[in-house]
Amino acid sequence: MLKWFGAGSFRHGVHPPEAKDATRDLPIRRLPFAPLLVVPLSQHLGRPSIPVVREGQQVVRGEPIARPDGFLSVAMHAPASGVVKAIGLAPGIAGRMLPAIYLKPLPGSTQEVVEGTPCPLDATPEQIVHAIQEAGVVGLGGAGFPTHAKLRPPEGGFIDTLIVNGVECEPYLTTDHRVMLEQREDIFTGLRFLLAATGAARAIIGVEENKPDAAAHLREGLPEKLPVSIEVLPVKYPQGAEKMLIEALLGRRVPPGGLPASVHALCVNVATTAEIGRLLPHGRGIQERVVTITGPAVRHKGNYHVPIGTPLHFLLETVGVEDDLSRVFLGGPMMGSAAPCLDVPITKGTSGVVAFTERESLTTQVVEHPCIRCGYCLDACPMFLDPSQLGLLAANERHQEMADRHHLMSCFECGACAYVCPSHIPLVQRFRVAKAALRKAKAS
């Protein structure tokens, strides 16, 4: 039986330092075009997009340069007006080479974006879903799941509540905060499209209480007759995870292995919602996204509109970094990934770039010790797993047992267990290795 509660919270979780003061009050600025943009064809879960341009071809900003390869795929668009220099391989955040389109912006390229066929607000659900796929929209919170693919409930199911995730619980990041303050009308337009596509009767925008200005701003501009409420939640990590947010707002717990649709809910990131509202009325595709660029090593911290495909080295050169730059995370320090090199490009799923100096790296270098069975990780895990036992099994490569008996695949790698571990065991890294081994075994 489904339970209904007011805005509350979920059980367990942690409270890492927020570290948002440096950028929370800085308006979104625009990063210039890099001399060469690298647009990966696999910026989403699912099949890579298929190029529809050739080397040497001139394209206009916003023009489609790759089409979806099936339903679980999205289109790609030119982030700048320029010339296609090459179609080849480029480094990805996971360290693998991925197919990509290399685009050289033309000198004096403007921010003008080509328009396509607008999608009206009274379009059918099928037309809206198709328009979102053609606009190249994926989850901008970092997951990269194609948004259109999650809008249709399973056969015989229904969605009664749409949740817009404005929590942004990851330390350092303020992207969603600024989007809520500066793109309010786009958010409400996007909500109209999403409500029409899902058939949900109402929507809730969840905002943590460390963003009171954003919650107030949304409430002040809330259109009449739009079935949307703004709920303020206590600050806790990882409240931005969709299963945790559904539990906090609705009191519904998504079962292990289940999807939000199994409890008649759907969760969409607030920046994703704003992009839908910004793009669909003009028939445009994603060419850029808002990225928080911050961390002790960054000189000109801020929130920036960054063209998709901007190489990380150009971004860091533009904002300026300290000489003793040591580590760079794409995303936040809890769930983000350390960049394997500075040639990786910004993708649709890059919500933040957090750079640390050698000083922070030295202070965080610790020695791993044996598990002391303190139980801190059990108290922290929002999915009620046993990270201690999983870690021991992972160390002995008993991967199948981790999945079969200890629900490894329910872990969404929030990092709460590793954060509280007094023995400094790299639990999340072990879980990722175990999952990769299981996927490889299944594929073979």
Per-domain boundaries in the chain: 1-34+118-365, 376-443
CATH fold of the domain at 1-34+118-365? Rossmann fold (3.40.50)
**The model scores a pTM over 0.75:** yes
pLDDT reported for residue 142: 77
Cβ-based neighbour number of residue 376 at 10 Å? 19
Coil vs helix vs strand at 198: helix
Nearest Cα to Cα of residue 368 among 395, 345, 405: 395
Number of H-type helices and E-type strands within the chain: 13, 17
- CA 88 to chain CA centroid, nearest Å: 25
pLDDT reported for residue 364: 58
CB 69 within 8 A of CB 47: yes
Q: What is the per-residue pLDDT across 116-154, written as a single tens digit (0 to 9) for each?
A: 999 999 999 999 999 999 999 999 987 789 999 999 877
d(CA 365, CA 287): 38
d(CA 409, CA 258): 11
pLDDT under 70: residue ranges of the chain: 1-7, 361-365
Q: What are phi and psi of 84, to 5 degrees?
A: -70, 110
pLDDT reported for residue 1: 28
CB 94 within 8 A of CB 337: yes
321 DSSP 8-state letter: B
pLDDT reported for residue 391: 95
Which residues sit opposite 207 in a β-bridge? 232
Q: Are strands 265-269 and 161-165 parallel, antiparallel or unpaired?
A: parallel
- Tell me which H or E stretch contains 271: helix 270-279
Q: Which residue has the tokens 């979102």?
A: 132
- CA 294 to chain CA centroid, nearest Å: 17
d(CA 296, CA 403): 38
What single letter denotes the amino acid at residue 439?
R
d(CA 182, CA 176): 10
Q: What are phi and psi of 312, to 5 degrees?
A: -60, -35
CB 192 within 8 A of CB 226: yes
pLDDT reported for residue 365: 60
Cβ-based neighbour number of residue 225 at 10 Å? 5
d(CA 43, CA 274): 19
CB 371 within 8 A of CB 392: yes
pLDDT reported for residue 3: 36
